[in-house]
Structures are given as structure tokens and as C-alpha cells.
Structure 1
Amino acid sequence: MQNLLEFIQQNQQLIYLVILMMFLGVEVISNVPSILHTPLMSGANAIHGVIVIGAIIVMGESASDDYLSIAIGSLAVIVGTLNMVGGFVVTDRMLAMFKVEKKNKVKK
């Protein structure tokens, strides 16, 4: 418990900054019009791709007997991949709603 209090005391400004960023992020996301959702979703998917690659690099750099780092890294890769693929699926379905279907015209 003492270590936790020391950590909070040493990093108090960073903790306040993270809390401020969370509130700011919620405000920004809640005010985004629905027409911009698809491009923002694509950008978020690209960011998750970078996160997955970073998690793979961190796992590769960890010691082979550090099972906690490998387990957390594996979990990060799995969850990041699911989030990224799910985002691309949702984006694809949203873009499919705007496509015009071509009718097959048969010439007689």
C-alpha cells in the first residue's frame, strides 16, 4: 500500500493529465457527427494495427522466462487484433450501406 501511495505522489501530475484526457476524449467523441464516424473508425483501426505490432515487438524483447510479460503481451495482441478486425468489419458494413446496387439489364 505504501508503494502505491508513493507512486501516486510521484506521478500526480501525469495522473491528472490522464484524467483530463479521458474527459476531453469523451467530449470530443460525443460531439462527432455520424457522417464522420466511418473515417474516424478507419483511423482508429490503423492505430490498433500499430498497437498490435508494438505488443509483438515488446513480447519479442522480453526474457524467455518472464511469463507475466509474455501472457500480458499475448492478451494485448489478441484483444488488439479482435478490436482491429471488428472495426474493419463495422466500417465495411457501414460503407456497404452507401453503395448503389447495379441492376443487371438484359438486352433483348
Structure 2
Amino acid sequence: MPFNPTQYIEKSVTAINQIMPAETHSVEVLRGGEVDPFITGLTVFMLAAFVGYYVVWRVTPALHSPLMAVTNAISSVIIVGALVVAGGEAFDVSKVLGFIAVVLASINIFGGFIVTQRMLDMFKKKTKK
């Protein structure tokens, strides 16, 4: 069955609309009212989860290692966001969670580089000693 991008996008949008109706958010903004930041964050999280799932699901097995290498760049964006969250003046839960996010994303980045280097070493010609 050939891949049909239009049908794929329509299914994704339908699934997202069933979980989180966008009308509530849009109508509230048009009325001039404020939208709860939690709802905005939840919307972004849900969209990222759906997009991430469908992108990874469509990757062929031969390309999983290069895909994991690219996620190192995404982890660096996570570090920037975590530093912004942890950079506030008051010491609260967000500072602790920001610090944990920085540590975990750093481990992910360096581990990803090690795995990528090992993968690339497999393709190098072995020299006879």
C-alpha cells in the first residue's frame, strides 16, 4: 500500500481534534480572554507526542541509528529550555525539575554521541596489523 501524505495528515488532524478540541482554545483567544498556560502547554505536549510518534513510526529500521544521532540536536534544545526554566530567582519545584532535565538531557546527548561513533566505526575499513 503506497504512502498517501494527504490521508496521513487528515487522520492525524482528526485524532488530535478528538483528543483536544481546538475550538475551545481559539474561541477563548478571540473573545479577548486569557488562556490558561496549562492548557497551552498541554496542547503543545500532545501535538509533539503525536508528531514524534508518527515520525519515528514511519522510519525504516535501517535508518534508526541516524535518527537517534539527530535526536542529540533535539536534546540540546531541551537543555536550553531547562536552563530557562531553572534560571528563575526563586528556589522552587521548577528549578529542581529544570536541573533534572539538564542532567538527563546531557546524559542523553553524550550517550548518543558515543553510540553514533560506535555505529560509524562499524563502517570503517579494518586495517591489517
TM-score (ref. length: structure 2): 0.56
Measure, in 2, the Cα distance between the counterparts of 1:23 and 1:59: 27
Q: Say if 1:23 and 1:51 are closer, same or farther in 2 by CA, change over 3 A.
A: closer
Measure, in 2, the Cα distance between the counterparts of 1:58 and 1:20: 21
The letter of the residue matching 2:82 is: A
Measure, in 1, the Cα distance between the counterparts of 2:93 and 2:106: 20
Deviations 1:38-74 (A, max 9, x none): 33222210111122133223322x01x3232221111
Q: Secondary structure at the match of 1:100?
A: coil
Measure, in 2, the Cα distance between the counterparts of 1:28 and 1:67: 35
| Greater RCO, 1 or 2 (C-alpha within 8 Å, sep 6+) | 1
Displacement of 1:76: 0.6
Aligned to 1:58: 85
The gaps in structure 2 that reach 5 residues or longer are: 1-23, 26-38
2:68 is the counterpart of 1:68: no
TM-score (ref. length: structure 1): 0.65
| Count of residues paired in the alignment | 92
Aligned to 2:106: 81
Q: Say if 1:69 and 1:22 are closer, same or farther in 2 by CA, change over 3 A.
A: closer
The gaps in structure 1 that reach 5 residues or longer are: 1-8
1:28 to 39, 47, 55: 55
Displacement of 1:98: 1.0
2:70 to 30, 43, 62: 43
